[in-house]
Amino acid sequence: MYENFYGFREKPFSLLPDSGFLYLSSKHRIALTLLEYGLLNQAGFTVISGDIGTGKTTLIRQLLNQIDPGIKVGLISNTHQTFGDLMQWIALAFELPHQGKDKVTLYRDFMDFIIREYGQGRRTVLIVDEAQNMSAETLEELRMLSNVNADKDQVLQVILVGQRELRDTLRRPDLVQFAQRIGVDYHLEPLTEAETRAYIRHRCQTAGGKVDLFTDQACAQIHQSTGGVPRLINLLCDTALVYGYAEQRDSIDAELINEVARDKQSGGLFPSRAPETPAASPEPRSPFAGRMTGARKPADNPKRTATTRPAAGKAGQLRLAVAADSELLRIYLARLLTKFDIQVVATLPLSSQALNELEPDSIDALLVELDDRIDRLDQTLYDTLIDWKHPILFNDSLATEASLSQPDRLDYGRKLSQKLYSLVPHAPQSVA
């Protein structure tokens, strides 16, 4: 979407853990060093904790990338509240046969496995990600497994990675013996403002873009809005790049970050650290496909026809919802049309589900961006549009996409606004 415009080889702020983009803040460097120390010194239990999105899983991936081939690693990464039988999960982690075997048999097979590995000069390491979901009973069972030792060597090492709830569980009085087995323990804190700035620039540079694409002030605002949590930083920066591309901005400044943070917060999916100023257009959602042109009046359908037309927005504003395939187009149109006294109250993907969840009386008209593949529209979506009770403007998304890079985009917005106002009798008929 925005990669070519900003010179990126790939998206710099993906939400998926990627060790190729690993930025080692002082805290992450300490955590990784302690993980390595625990392995080298055969610590029985190593515990790394941190809040959601602080980079714990990315650290584990980095550890796995550089781990000694003489270490046999088993990874459990999908723990949940109904975790179930520990031995089944351990057998799966180390690719041991488990079908049709009871707990006692699985335990004996695993003991034979780790002793066999030790006899061949290999240590066994079990890594449990999202370990905060493990019950005290399961943790105690895990402690009992670690009792297998050979002389002074730790035959089985365990690394637990989880949110701070894991630390709370490990402080329980009935787990005091477990706590005494923990050789390495570290809690990963969010990034400082300086680390946030370095993190953003590192990811931009790694992706092949300009190091200073985000201004110093923008980085400071990002830290304020996210609290320095890497996952939230990625979410905010990625959306800011979409906004920046929509407006053809050469750099991302603090003003744009404020707008993005407010929009995200208005959608209820972002922490309340964002500035509490009047919200701009709501957060765009995921895409759908289709295009066609032309306008139509509302269908006369008793299922969806309102008895009265909803009132216009504040000071006679036309209240609009924008439905489009592309997230970029949703953002672009929402920001463009507000310049012509149109209140964009919702941006949403073009799907029957999203349209049906839209509050009917919250809008006066619907703008739908479609291509020429109308015959490929999902039947349910087609029926939803046919039954829609408000005026709809079907607009050519190819023309909208073309206007993105044109200097006369305001003229495009003016013409589009005039069409929209012409559909709603109660709204003002002139657009400046």
Q: Spell out the per-residue pLDDT of the chain, length 432, in tens.
A: 789 899 999 999 988 777 678 888 999 999 999 999 888 888 889 999 999 889 898 888 889 888 888 889 999 987 665 556 889 899 999 999 988 888 899 999 999 999 899 888 888 999 999 899 888 888 998 888 887 765 567 788 999 999 999 999 999 999 999 998 898 999 999 999 999 999 999 999 999 999 999 999 999 999 999 999 999 999 999 999 999 998 889 999 999 999 898 887 765 556 655 444 433 333 333 332 333 334 444 444 433 333 333 344 455 688 999 998 888 888 889 888 988 889 998 888 888 888 888 887 888 999 998 876 665 677 888 888 888 888 999 888 888 888 887 777 888 889 999 998 888 866 555 444
The span from the CA of 56 to the CA of 163, in Å, is 9
54 within 8 A of 189, measured Cβ to Cβ: yes
Q: Which CATH superfamily is domain 26-188 in?
A: P-loop containing nucleotide triphosphate hydrolases (3.40.50.300)
- 68, 69, 74, 76 alpha-carbon torsion, rounded to 10°: 60
How would you class 286 by CB atoms within 10 Å of its CB: exposed for 0-12, middle for 13-18, buried for 19 or more? exposed
What is the C-alpha separation between 317 and 324, in angstroms, rounded?
Answer: 22
Give the C-alpha separation, 45 to 23, whole Å.
26
> Which DSSP symbol is given to 23?
-
Structure tokens at 212: 């200073």
CATH architecture group of domain 294-423: 3-Layer(aba) Sandwich (3.40)
What's the topology of domain 191-266?
Helicase, Ruva Protein; domain 3 (1.10.8)
* Measured distance CA(426)–CA(334) in Å, rounded: 21
- Tell me if 26-188 shares its fold with 294-423: yes
Beta strands in 86-237 (DSSP E): 123-128, 149-150, 153-154, 156-162, 182-188
In 10 A of CB 162, how many CB atoms? 22
Between 254-266 and 230-246, two packed helices, what is the crossing angle to 10 degrees?
110
The answer to whether the pTM exceeds 0.85 is: no
Phi, psi (5° rounding) for residue 128?
Answer: -115, 110
Catalogue the long-range contacts made by 74-78 (C-beta closer than 8 Å, 24 or more residues apart).
74/124, 74/125, 74/126, 74/127, 75/127, 75/129, 76/126, 76/127, 76/128, 76/129, 77/129, 77/130, 78/130
Extents of the domains making up the chain: 26-188, 191-266, 294-423
What is the Cβ-side half-sphere exposure of residue 144, based on CA atoms within 13 angstroms?
A: 10
Q: Hey, what are 60's tokens?
A: 């584990």
